[in-house]
Amino acid sequence: MKICVAQLNYHIGNFESNLKKMMNAIEDAKSQNADIICFAELATCGYPPRDFLEFDDFIRLSNESIHQLQKMSHDIAIVVGSPSKNPRAEGKDLYNSVFFLYNGEIQHVQHKTLLPTYDVFDEYRYFDPADKFEVVSFKGKKIALTVCEDIWNIGNENPLYTICPMDEMMPHKPDLMINVSASPFSYSHAEERLHILRCNANRYKVPIFYVNQVGAQTELIFDGGSVVVSPDGVIYEEMSYFVEENKVFDLESVIRGGVKKEQPKDKIKDIHDALVLGLQDYFNKLGFAKAVLGLSGGIDSAITLVLAVRALGKDNVRVLMMPSQFSSQHSLDDALVLAEKLGIYYNIIPIKEMYDSFMIHLQPIFQDAPFNVTEENIQARIRGILNMAISNKFGNILLNTTNKSEMAVGYGTLYGDLCGGLSVIGDVYKTDVYRLAAYINKDENIIPQNTISKPPSAELRPNQKDSDSLPEYDILDPILYKYIEECKGPDEIIKEGFDETLVKRILRLVNINEFKRHQTAPVLRVTSKAFGVGRRMPIVGKYLS
């Protein structure tokens, strides 16, 4: 038996495009004499569809895609994820289902059992869990069909759940398992995924065909990396990351095992590739073509620019350089060097006269009040207005260049440098921004060395440095990581050796700046806990404030 794993990039609600991709993959699989082709979780409609699932017409179109796929199933079996109606009066209206199509008919439907409701997932809002566990027989083999999270409760050891779907299916003695998934990327998730798959194979002693989708859906990036596992727990093959790929496997060869092919894992390379894909799909799927950003000569805007050029092409990216009286000449020079190196279009618009005009008109109100963050924010907001003017006039989507460290502690100006249609590096800590710069420069000096080596500064007042307001990033970032990703409170962090006063100050900054994050652009997710849908904090709260 030959099984094709089809790792495709779907588009939420674009039924025509999704169906066409699957039909093309089916023809390709047929040409290779595949017996079964497997598509991802909710492949007909794209994942995660969220409240689109509440529209009857959305479900009708999903069902129509299933009917069209049925017509192509006479020479090949098709395994595909799609929502399905719950016929019972009680419970949610829908199931998250995997269909087995063959000979023009729906041979079997298995519903998802474990419905994650944590981090970026909210499936129990829409779906009812399965209560029946059966296998499907095909060409002399019994196949267990599972959906994504269903394999993440091995032997009922996951405290989030009280049932293990594969344990329920094992009395039927399946010969193999097919898991259809939509598993979003974070830089640590690939290893976790392989571990879970090995554990499943070791427990159930069956080969596993795990198909994951690829591509970005707003802030969520899906990395692909579909996996075939032999019954002895050896990774027979791990497919490519961040690209579409169809591959046919011989079941008997997988059962025999003996081949181990895992993709290399490199945190910074994977973050780089994920962000490029996230940018590409955000623009392509929304019908955007061109981007604009403010290029300051600092490392954050430099990294964002390189990623944008790699994702969209140099002809589709432009920048504004907006020096003030506080900007250093070397920052402008660094920005010019990078723009010319990349071959992009740029404009230089000094903002001193605009700033002075604001000060003249505000002087009767401000009178002799000393210079403070107010004047700094006015500069940032002037730049935001100029960037948005280019965006409005020419249709270039403004890219936000704020990193995760700054976003965490509120080191940014609403309606100024926090403007943008997409936050590119808002889930990348500053220390990893420097590592990204080193990765970008590994073969060629693209980002000027001075941009990397100089002390980071917003340059909004004379001789300003980030360290005037914040601890050094190699101290700040570990504290932020423990609070945001690991959900540790102040006492736990302090016990690990961090300064008590500093910890309480940093955590307070994170909490009191929640209102800013609620007003910023969607953030491309590359860690296990990004700002946005996966981290839901109250704006008004007393904890640590």
Q: Which residues are catalytic?
A: 41, 112, 148
Contact 267, 295 (CB under 8 A): no
Tell me the pairing of strands 2-7 and 36-38: parallel
Asked if residue 229 lies in contact with residue 25, where contact means CB atoms within 8 angstroms, the answer is no
Q: How far apart are CA 393 and CA 385, in angstroms?
A: 12
Taking the C-alpha atoms of residue 218 and residue 47, their distance in angstroms, rounded to an integer, is 11
Asked if residue 133 lies in contact with residue 168, where contact means CB atoms within 8 angstroms, the answer is yes
Is the bond preceding 490 in cis, omega lying within 30 degrees of 0? Answer: no
For the beta sheet containing 317-321, the strands, ordered from the edge strand earlier in sequence to the opposite edge, are 345-348, 317-321, 291-294, 397-400, 422-423
Length of the chain: 545
- N-term to C-term CA, the chain: 61
Three-state DSSP state, 421? coil
**Structure tokens, 375:** 């004047």
Residues 182 and 170: their CA atoms lie apart, in Å, by 24
String of b and e for 500-536 (b: at least 16 CB within 10 Å)? Answer: eeebeebbebbbebbebbeebbbbbbbbbbbbbbbbe
